[in-house]
Structure 1
Amino acid sequence: MSSTTPAESSHRIALAGEEVGYQLRRSKRRTIGLAIDQRGLRVAAPLRARLGDIENLIREHGQWVLDKLANWRERPPPEKTQIVDGSVISVLGAALTVTVTPLGRARWQFVDNKLHLWPSATVNANQLLEKALREKARSLFVDRLALYAPRLGVAAPALRLSSARTRWGSCSHHGGISLNWRLIFMPLPVVDYVVCHELAHLKEMNHSPRFWSVVEQLCPDWRALRIALRQLGRQIPQL
């Protein structure tokens, strides 16, 4: 998670005879960082870093980059979770039983620890579940932002739901916050950590020690919750 910036561009570089594309994102950071995920090589660099210096660093780690990219290409795609009548999923740290009953018009209803789905000919159970959870996530996020924002002396920011695969939240320079709807699969304290993390960017648009002190002001257990987020993120259902 990090603050967003418009300074992002696409580039290509030759590594050991192989042409590799990468996304370069500039921000108010002090060092150059390399990361690889299913989207490919992503580089974060200071605003004034020279492109030559950035690419020299990529070449220094060229074999590591090629090995990691190869690992991602060889990794099998995650299996999708097929939702059927009686499926049980974890929502906000509690078991939620899903009932599926075909109906002419798609709708859903939360009742206690159950979610009733009535899929239609055009909306299947998986699609309907995602719609239901997105709505629940939006309502929850609005409430949590309204709870924590006043503690920083700021107004609750505008919210946008995200579907990003590798980012849980972001904060724009205009003050809007984006939160991944899949956080609904996490326990509430983990959700609150992400909310506090992004709200802290309204005070410090970076990841400096001052930023983390703001996070700690809102969420004293942020270190343990950040670890939990990384671990649980690997286990969420693929709809």
Structure 2
Amino acid sequence: MSAFDVTDKPADQLPLVVDQTFDYVIKRQKRKTIAVHVLPDGTVEVRAPKWLPKYELVDFVEQRADWIVNQRQQVLAKSATKPRFQHGQYHPFLGETFPLWIERAGRSSAQFKDGVLLIKVREPSDSQQIEQALQQWYRKQAEAIFEERMFACFESFPDWFQDKFRIPEITIRKMRRRWGSCSSKGEVTLNLWLMKMPLDCIDYVIVHELCHLHAFHHGKEFYRLLASILPDWRVREALIEQLS
């Protein structure tokens, strides 16, 4: 799957006033159409062809102002309900939620114990220390679980596939827009935050990326292989969308 084509050039910024004020960022890309995206932090991105005049972009945004305002309100409301990093707050792990139990200690650490996420930090009131300790724990769990699920998923493919391809090495990253990716060289990257999802969702993403080893596209051949491995892939995909 190809990466997003985002320019590194400074973005334009323009104000727009409707029933609330917000800025939007124009990102010039190698594309033929205009698209509006509301990011998790409420930022509005307008992705447009490099050659398109700015006045056409302004018209485009003004025509969709009501939709943008509505989307921003939903995104910001969702952001406001995200769990905080303090004692007693519930955080997801493999599709379930568990409370944080914060203790003071000379060295930061995290572990799952007796139904709670036990976090030890130097300063229990410092949410950043708690967040860092929890993320390190998520990554450690991901390294083990992703490798285990990659092997199991690969084994579910037919013999011809296993003879043709090798089990890919996994890179773990925090990604905002994708749960996984597969490069043209067969390198698989998985989103760290998959650790918050049920194993069925993790398996779906892994199988999806493994299918790209054979079909580096989303055509009929790709979906035929995907459906042969996971007949319920649509249910799993919908669950990821629901939990995202």
TM range (shorter): 0.7 to 0.9
Check whether the contact 1:90–1:185 (CA below 8 A) recurs between aligned residues.
yes
| Residue matched to 2:29 | 24
Shift in CA distance, 190/85, structure 1 to aligned 2, threshold 3 Å: same
Deviation, 1:7, is 6.1
Counterpart-to-counterpart distance in 1, 2:201 and 2:175: 17
Counterpart-to-counterpart distance in 2, 1:8 and 1:66: 23
Deviations 1:77-121 (A, max 9, x none): 723522333333331123433321110111122235332211124
Write out aligned runs for 1:59-78 (5 A).
76=76, 78=79
Q: Work out the number of aligned pairs and report it.
A: 218
| Residue matched to 1:202 | 213
Shift in CA distance, 110/180, structure 1 to aligned 2, threshold 3 Å: same
Counterpart-to-counterpart distance in 1, 2:194 and 2:58: 36
Shift in CA distance, 59/82, structure 1 to aligned 2, threshold 3 Å: closer
More helix, by proportion: 2
Shift in CA distance, 89/52, structure 1 to aligned 2, threshold 3 Å: closer
Deviation, 1:135, is 1.5
TM-score normalised by length of structure 1: 0.72
Deviation, 1:63, is 5.1
Check whether the contact 1:144–1:192 (CA below 8 A) recurs between aligned residues.
yes
Q: Which has the higher contact order (CA 8 A, sep 6+)?
A: 1
Counterpart-to-counterpart distance in 2, 1:116 and 1:20: 40
Deviation, 1:194, is 1.1
User: Unaligned regions of 5+ residues in structure 2, if any?
Assistant: 17-22
Counterpart-to-counterpart distance in 2, 1:157 and 1:112: 34
Deviation, 1:42, is 4.1
Check whether the contact 2:107–2:121 (CA below 8 A) recurs between aligned residues.
yes
Q: Percent same amino acid at aligned positions?
A: 25
Counterpart-to-counterpart distance in 1, 2:134 and 2:29: 35
User: Unaligned regions of 5+ residues in structure 1, if any?
Assistant: 44-49, 234-239
| Residue matched to 1:37 | 38
Give the root-mean-square deviation of aligned CA atoms.
3.7
Check whether the contact 1:87–1:98 (CA below 8 A) recurs between aligned residues.
yes
Deviation, 1:6, is 8.4
Greater mean deviation of Cα atoms: 74-83 or 111-120:
74-83
TM-score normalised by length of structure 2: 0.71
Deviation, 1:232, is 0.4
Check whether the contact 1:169–1:180 (CA below 8 A) recurs between aligned residues.
yes
